[in-house]
Amino acid sequence: MHDQTSVQSSLAEGIVNRIEDILLESDGAGKPLEIEPYRGQLFELFVTADGAGYTEGDSDLTADGLCRILAARWGLADATQESYTQQKKLPPEHLAKMRLLWSLMRMWMEWIYAWQRWNEFHRGKSQHSSE
């Protein structure tokens, strides 16, 4: 059982690490996540995470969970708290990372929604095509 848990956690960690790499690569290139190659790479990771059951319920890689993990890695909670406490603008590097997370979260949520409703919309097509 321990081996299965460590495989699952290493898979989840690998997915998060790769997502972080893609986000930072996109940011460094000054290009939005919504364009190729970033969108396609992120979608492949989404498919892997979903296939492993990581995008449902209280799993680590729901849109909220994924953004929470990356925000913690990047120190965004502390940065926003400090910005609020000192009544200063959020530093540009933190604001840029928050924008990356907002884009990631939106795409991830859209993919989860579409994935969950796939059968609902494709069941009707197969019934109509067989008539």
pLDDT tens track of the chain, all 131 residues? 334 344 458 899 999 999 999 999 999 999 999 999 999 999 999 999 999 989 887 778 999 999 999 999 998 888 777 767 777 777 778 789 989 999 999 999 999 999 888 777 777 655 544 44
CA distance 41 to 84: 35
Q: Which residues of 72-105 are buried (b: 16+ CB within 10 A; e: fewer)?
A: eebebeebeeeeeeeeeebeeebeebbebbebbb
Tokens representing residue 28 in the block: 């460094």
pTM of the model: 0.79
